[in-house]
Amino acid sequence: MERYAIRGGNALEGDVVISGAKNAALGILAAAIMTDEEVVIENVPFVNDTRTLLKAIENIGATVRYIDRHKVAICGAGIKGDEGLAVDDEYIRKIRASYYLIGALLGKYKYANVALPGGCDIGARPIDLHIKGFETLGAEVDIASGGRVEAKATELKGAHIYLDTVSVGATINIMLAATLAEGKTTIENAAKEPHIVDVANFLNTMGANIKGAGTDVIRVRGVARLHGAEYSIIPDQIEAGTFMAMAVATRGNVLIRNVIPKHMEAISSKLVDMGARVIEYDDCIRVMADGALRATQVKTLPYPGFPTDMQAQMAAALCLTDGISMVTESIFENRFRYVSELTRMGARIQLKGNTAFITGMPKLTGASLVASDLRAGAALVIAALAAEGVSSIESINYVKRGYEDFDAKIRALGGDIIITDSDSELEAFKRGMSVVKQKA
């Protein structure tokens, strides 16, 4: 079983280049099958979730050409959109974004039969808003036995849809289905995350007519069909935020390249509250920290608020500050599973309801840890890099789902991290083995 071995204590220094946004890529790859013409997509992050979705898309008959590590050409012409179409394989059940295939297939073929989505266990994560949206457009949706969603319609008609809760997934899925519906659809109380805008921009390059993405009212005027296109995905806001928190926790000096500073505002302002220096340039951000840092308060909110996907990483950095920080999670009900692992490193964290009270400590100490989900895994890596001594982190498959070449990027910044699946190598690392010997 692969795990990270990390020797903490190095202040990270240098440049890191951010990859394409995972949560935009997942919506865009699903949308790409909505035309029978070829679509070329660039800056696709090389992470397990995008590879899984591409496999699922191939499994239903689309052709996928892997032009290079970050560029694919997709053609949906080979998909047989009849009632025989079923998206199900062991992979698709693992990723949340499989639900985007419902909106894409329902929009294009007026029929979709997809296994219920999986994804990180950070809360109940129902899809009732997605279903309500599809039904309002005129579809019949059935949660069939065996954990499948079957949606069908003779036609989809534009409608007014109000989302009771701000949902990224429901906003994108309804946008997909409404793109090829008849007439106008209005999505109110829509999510405003950068990836929503990126998916809408991609659909518009294929000939869709979507306005207002990035605001809480999105207007979609249905079109008869979509055409081929070329598109490049935006940088990953959360990967960038993760490296910013890492630079601060290790008291480093890092230039984060290929970012959109506007997307980072909520994260940058919290790091500045802690006493870090954050300097913005056109497409990169320098983050520096040294010495004592201050405690602060963080509450997760939909964009442009502080992203829930940065909550754990921020908590890890706040463990090494002066004072008591409060971290409140308002989006998901089970997103503090990393707390017990940080406590093993000597962190002092008290959980009360959906708030973690973090008493800053002068140091953390390396330990054997287990990741419980994608962002929790990233948080443990940050804590281990800032700690004294050696840590090992298991279940890194979670991290590989959403971070491209995470260990290699950290090593390029001077972090002492390897991936190993052998106990003897871990022991050697603990005894001070250098990291030059590295797995591809």
207 and 223 Cβ atoms separated by less than 8 Å: yes
For residue 308, the minimal CB distance to ligand EPZ (Å) is 5
Active site residue 120: yes
34 vs 331 by CB, closer to ligand EPZ: 331
Minimum separation from the CB atom of position 127 to ligand EPZ (A): 4
Which residue minimizes CB distance to ligand EPZ?
Answer: 169
Q: Distance between CA 81 and CA 103 in Å, rounded?
A: 13
Least distance from ligand EPZ to the Cβ atom of residue 272, Å: 23
- Rounded to whole angstroms, the Cα distance separating 66 from 74 reads 9
Q: Which is nearer to ligand EPZ, 13 or 405 (CB)?
A: 405
Nearer to ligand EPZ, 168 or 267 (CB): 168
Compute the least distance from the CB of residue 193 to ligand EPZ, in Å.
6
Query: Interior CA angle at 196 toward 64 and 87, to 5°?
Result: 40
Least Å from the CB of residue 392 to ligand EPZ? 23
Q: What is the DSSP letter of 12?
A: P
Can you tell me whether residue 116 is helix, strand or coil? coil
Contacts of 206 (CB under 8 A, 6+ apart): 31, 34, 35, 39, 226, 227, 228, 229
3-state secondary structure of 409: helix
Compare residues 35 and 300 and give the one whose CB is closer to ligand EPZ: 300
417: enclosing H helix or E strand:
strand 416-420
The answer to whether 85 and 109 are in contact (CB under 8 A) is yes
Instruction: Choose between 108 and 130: whose C-beta lies nearer to ligand EPZ.
Output: 130
Pick between residue 23 and residue 179 the one whose CB is nearest to ligand EPZ: 23
Cβ proximity to ligand EPZ, 320 vs 378, nearer residue: 378
What is the binding site for ligand EPZ (CB under 6 A)? 23, 26, 96-97, 120, 123-130, 165, 167-170, 191, 308-309, 331-332, 374-375, 402
Residue 115 is classified by DSSP as E
Looking at beta carbons, which pairs linking 333-336 to residues 24 or more positions away fall under 8 Å? 333/123, 333/124, 334/121, 334/122, 334/123, 335/122, 335/123, 335/308, 335/311, 335/375
Half-sphere exposure of 188 (CA within 13 A, CB side): 5
- The catalytic position among 75, 120, 284, 319 is 120
CB of 191 to ligand EPZ, least distance (A): 6
Nearest 5°: CA angle at 270, between 265 and 272? 95
Contact 339, 358 (CB under 8 A): no
Alpha-carbon span 135 to 128, nearest angstrom: 10
What one-character DSSP code corresponds to residue 199? H
Strand order in the sheet with 324-328: 297-299, 324-328, 355-359, 348-352
For residues 29 and 368, give the distance between their C-alpha atoms in angstroms, rounded to a whole number: 37
Residue (47 or 390) nearer to ligand EPZ, CB: 47
- Closest approach, Cβ 375 to ligand EPZ, in A, equals 5
- Cα–Cα distance for residue pair 257/170, rounded to 1 Å: 31
Minimum Å distance from CB 232 to ligand EPZ?
19
Whether the Cβ atoms of residue 235 and residue 258 lie closer than 8 Å to each other: yes
Residues belonging to the active site = 120
